Amino acid sequence: MLSLAESERVNMGLEYISIQKGNEFLQIVYTNGAVFTVNLWVAILLLCLSVAIYIALYLLMGFGLRKMAIATKTEHTWLAFVPFARYYFAGKIVGQVKLFGKKMKNAGFWLMIVFAIKFALDVTAFLLNYLPLAIAYFSDVQIIIQPSDYGLAMSFGEGFSYEYSPAVYAFLNVQYILGTLLNVAYLFFFFFTFMMLFRKFNPRSHFMFTIIAFIGEIFGISLASIVVFTQRNRKPVNYNDFVKEQYMRMQGMYAPPRPNPPDNPFREFGGRGENDPGDPFAEFGERKTSSQDAPSDGADNKSKDGSDDAAEDKKNGNDDKNGGNPFEGF
């Protein structure tokens, strides 16, 4: 008996897969005679491990959305742990967005609706497809899965037969076509909703996080749960304000440097502070103004003006001892 790695190296093609109740739960037989066996306890262990990982990722998403809801003051935080409704809750945290130029109040609502319909169809199709396998297994009948031109064909050992009704065949055909369309719609709304969510809490790296979550969703791994949990402690920001801030920062970074203005040689005369000496020619302006305003129609007025000027000079300290005004005559 060869191991799985050895059987893969042989690469001679699959002959059939045998599933039967007992310790040797599953056997994969290749055309060259190589056999790979999975024991029942290994299958149970793998199943339990898968369920544990799923529950852990589910809780990570729930705790992450709950913390984000608290940061945005969104009510009903318990919705973060409710199946299907958690997508609606994620859209509620994001708030109103625009899709193709039209306002959308809650993108998560459409994600929830599409996912619920898709999930119901997938579960129904799964039960119909694998119900014969479960009945045969618990009836201790060997199940043979062989390659065919259309994929894998399932047959049963002696004493067991199962046939689908025409209605079941019709449903499975419709489910295949409708399920494909719903899967495309689901991935679209998933990408859009979580891109808006990551953009609200980490606008700088939101697209990278969205791609990671999207790839995980394609392969059936909820990487979005891990990303949401890691971003739960960040503060929500307005994306438009973030873009404006980055734009202004880039403008300041790449703007040409401004040359320093030349020194102003008259800077000391530009302001009037406490040490300002004032106008050095103010007294001559006052004298000129008083002489122009004086009347010139008689000697009395002249003598009066002269006495007034003398009194003003004496008051201001500009007497003859100091030489007087040399330009007074002019």
What pLDDT sits at residue 131?
79
198 in any annotated domain: yes
Phi, psi at 45, each rounded to 5°? -65, -45
Q: 0.75 cut: is pTM over it?
A: no
Q: How far is CA 75 from the centre of its chain?
A: 21
- Rounded CA separation 86/194 (Å): 12
14 in any annotated domain: yes
Provide the sign of the torsion angle of the four alpha carbons 92, 97, 103, 104, taken in this order. Answer: negative
Contact 240, 213 (CB under 8 A): no
pLDDT at 203 > cutoff 50: yes
CA-to-CA dists, residue 322 to 104, 326, 329, angstroms: 91, 10, 16
192 in any annotated domain: yes
Q: What is the DSSP letter of 270?
A: T
- Rounded CA separation 144/327 (Å): 130
Phi, psi at 152, each rounded to 5°? -115, 130
315 in any annotated domain: no
- Rounded CA separation 93/197 (Å): 7
pLDDT tens-digit map of 306-316: 555 555 554 44
**Amino acid (one-letter) located at 92:** K
- Rounded CA separation 324/312 (Å): 12
281 in any annotated domain: no
Contact 16, 146 (CB under 8 A): yes
298 in any annotated domain: no
pLDDT tens-digit map of 146-185: 777 656 677 777 766 667 778 888 888 899 899 999 999 9
64 in any annotated domain: yes
More confident residue, 36 or 321: 36
Phi, psi at 114, each rounded to 5°? -65, -45
- Rounded CA separation 295/293 (Å): 7
What pLDDT sits at residue 312?
52
What pLDDT sits at residue 23?
67
pLDDT tens-digit map of 264-283: 666 655 555 555 555 666 66
- Residue carrying structure tokens 């039967």: 20
- Annotate 21-56 with b (16+ C-beta within 10 A) or e (fewer): eeeebbbbbbeeebebbeeeeeeeeeeeeeeeeeee
- Rounded CA separation 202/64 (Å): 14
228 in any annotated domain: yes
Full domain range(s) for residue 28:
4-244
**Amino acid (one-letter) located at 304:** K
| Long-range CB pairs of 106-114, under 8 A, 24+ apart, other chains included | 107/189, 107/192, 107/193, 107/196, 108/193, 110/189, 111/87, 111/186, 111/189, 111/190, 111/193, 112/84, 112/85, 112/87, 112/88, 114/182, 114/185, 114/186, 114/189
What pLDDT sits at residue 18?
75
Provide the sign of the torsion angle of the four alpha carbons 9, 10, 12, 13, taken in this order. Answer: negative
Which residue from 196, 200, 235 is spatially nearest to 213, judged by alpha carbons?
A: 196
**Amino acid (one-letter) located at 77:** T
Count of domains for the chain: 1
Highest mean pLDDT among 9-23, 98-112, 262-276, 308-322: 98-112
pLDDT tens-digit map of 214-243: 999 999 899 999 999 999 999 998 888 888
What pLDDT sits at residue 27?
72
